[in-house]
Chains A and B, each alone.
Chain A
Amino acid sequence: MTSEGATAPVDDVTGISVSHVNRSFGSVVALHDVDLHVSRHQRVGIVGPSGCGKSTLLALVSGLDDPNSGDISVLGARTAKERLDRCAWMPQRDLLLPWRTVLANASLPLENKGLSKSAAYEIVTPLFERFGLAGFENRHPYELSGGMRQRVSFLRTLVAGKDVLLLDEPFGALDSITRADVQQWLKSALDEEPRTVLLVTHDVEEAVLLSDEVVVMSPRPGRIVARIPISLNHVESRREAVTQPDFIAARGLVLDALEA
């Protein structure tokens, strides 16, 4: 799937670039002089205390919001509208539409692009197998478990065919067992089909597990205080990963940066 909606030419080198970005809401300074550079198909985890502006940063990158000052470029796209074309955004809540079946929910981005229902379904139906959702196409979201709903939400996000995924605590609403499951699943989905990912989370282990680099933000006004590159030996499961020395070391570095 390609990002047909994109108009400006894709800049392969820069990925996402945020420079000197400030954002205030009234007298509250949410982000102060934030710089962040992410190469294409890199996965960056963003951790920080509550209210440090993590979600604001994602909204700015996605084009849902504009900074008061500073520049944002997403694969060469600079205006909010162009950034919206490049970025898929997924928040903590699955935001599935209760009046649509699971299949119709996943097809939403294609229908929005102007495809007919049947054409959209034809494209999306084969993906259900891969997402472990086969057989649930015609169910409604309320008939699914939280983990499955979140996978449908992922499927919908990926169907949009955008190069950049902005994930805002996507596992926050899940219980810890489901959470580990979906994390593992997302990791393999992204290994198969690489995207540029910004992952906001308050779970340090999750950030270390899923990212190539973890960025630590300070309490309000949000600034980036540390960048910790992650390179883990390839392991099969989360259980295995969390016992590896390189994982433990990386987690220690992130926790140190958070407490500094």
Chain B
Amino acid sequence: MSELEGGLESGAVSVGHMLEPHDDPSMTFGQRVKQFGPSAAVLVGLLLLWEFAALFLSIPAYILPAPSAIIATLIKKWSSTLQSATWVTLTEVLIGFVLALIAGIGIAVILHAWAHVRRAVYPLLIGSQTIPIIVIGPILAIIFGYNIVPKVILVALICFFPIVVTTIDGLASVDPQLKRMMKTLYGTPWSTFKRVEFPAALPSMFSGIRVAATYAAIGAVFGEYAGSSNGLGYVMIQATPQMQTSLVFAAILLLSLISVLLFMLVSVAERILVPWAREGRMQ
């Protein structure tokens, strides 16, 4: 039965599924290969193509370094530059992301609980997203200096919006029948929030958190571009005029790894906190 459902699940690939955790502990090795094999094959193929193009079309290394050259730079520059830069950026990303989680969920709950606050604030919140985040970077650098604060704020600002929107949506789309049911079972507004609305909103909330996880690194890099003394964005901005293109690519690779790491953390948290959502989808 569960194999049949698993088969249906993997057969029905949708955009929504792209952002959802695929990792199912009950999957056999064969199913895993079937699930991740095609994208791994495409990735290896592209890397090989890139490698041979760089080798045989004699593209200068400062324009497009070969993947092997990027890895070599990554190893060579790890202890001198990249290690500390990765650590700095990772710290900015994680602190900013946690701040976005707290602020995003907190604000969403407040806006959900008080309709008049929501009417006053929600349109402004959406409007605020029309300000390009990239222009805020220099302003924050002026206010807070070249330290970690502006980067953390940028990460939080960029992550916070999808979390707020999906949390509010999740809270608002709770089945009204469930709330009526709670009323007839001695439910107070607080117990209804705690036992029905919040858990019901979790799957929607996590879809926003997953999107936010993929944005977080961008915020840190913008912040570092605007003014910094270390971090992967700083490395990139220093390496570019020096034509150290392979170093730029090495930094990009590390940034991607930070994003993947954050995304995986969120997926693991989701599997622990929202186990029923997977089962619900399978039904």
Contact = CB atoms under 8 A, between A and B. Distances in A.
B41 to A, nearest CB: 35
Interface of A: 5, 62-64, 84-85, 87-89, 91, 93, 95, 97-100, 108-109, 111-113, 140, 142-143, 156, 160
Contacts of A85: 186
B180 interface: yes
Contact of A156 (B185, B188, B195, B196): B185
Given A97-B195, A99-B276, 5 more contacts: A64-B183, A91-B177, A112-B186, A112-B191, A142-B276
Interface in B171-205: 175, 177-178, 180-188, 191, 195-196, 199-200, 202
B272 to A, nearest CB: 12
A109 B283 CA distance: 27
Given A5-B186, A140-B279, A142-B283, A112 B180 contact: no
A182 B186 CA distance: 26
Interface of B: 175, 177-178, 180-188, 191, 195-196, 199-200, 202, 274, 276-277, 279-280, 283
A74 to B, nearest CB: 12
Contact of A112 (B175, B182, B276, B279): B182
Which secondary structure dominates where chain B touches chain A? helix
A100 B277 CA distance: 12
Contacts of B195: 97, 100, 108, 111-112
Contacts of B181: 89, 91, 95
Contacts of A93: 177
Contact of A140 (B186, B187, B274, B276): B276
Contact of B279 (A84, A97, A142, A160): A142
Contacts of A84: 183-184
Contacts of B183: 64, 84
Given A97-B199, A112-B195, A140-B279, A88 B184 contact: yes
A113 B186 contact: yes
Contacts of B283: 142
Contacts of B188: 112
A108 B184 contact: no
A156 B274 CA distance: 23
A32 to B, nearest CB: 24
B191 A89 contact: no
13 contacts: A5-B186, A63-B184, A84-B184, A93-B177, A97-B199, A98-B277, A98-B279, A99-B199, A108-B185, A108-B195, A112-B195, A140-B279, A160-B186
Given A111-B195, A142-B283, A97 B178 contact: yes
Contacts of B277: 98
A62 B280 contact: no
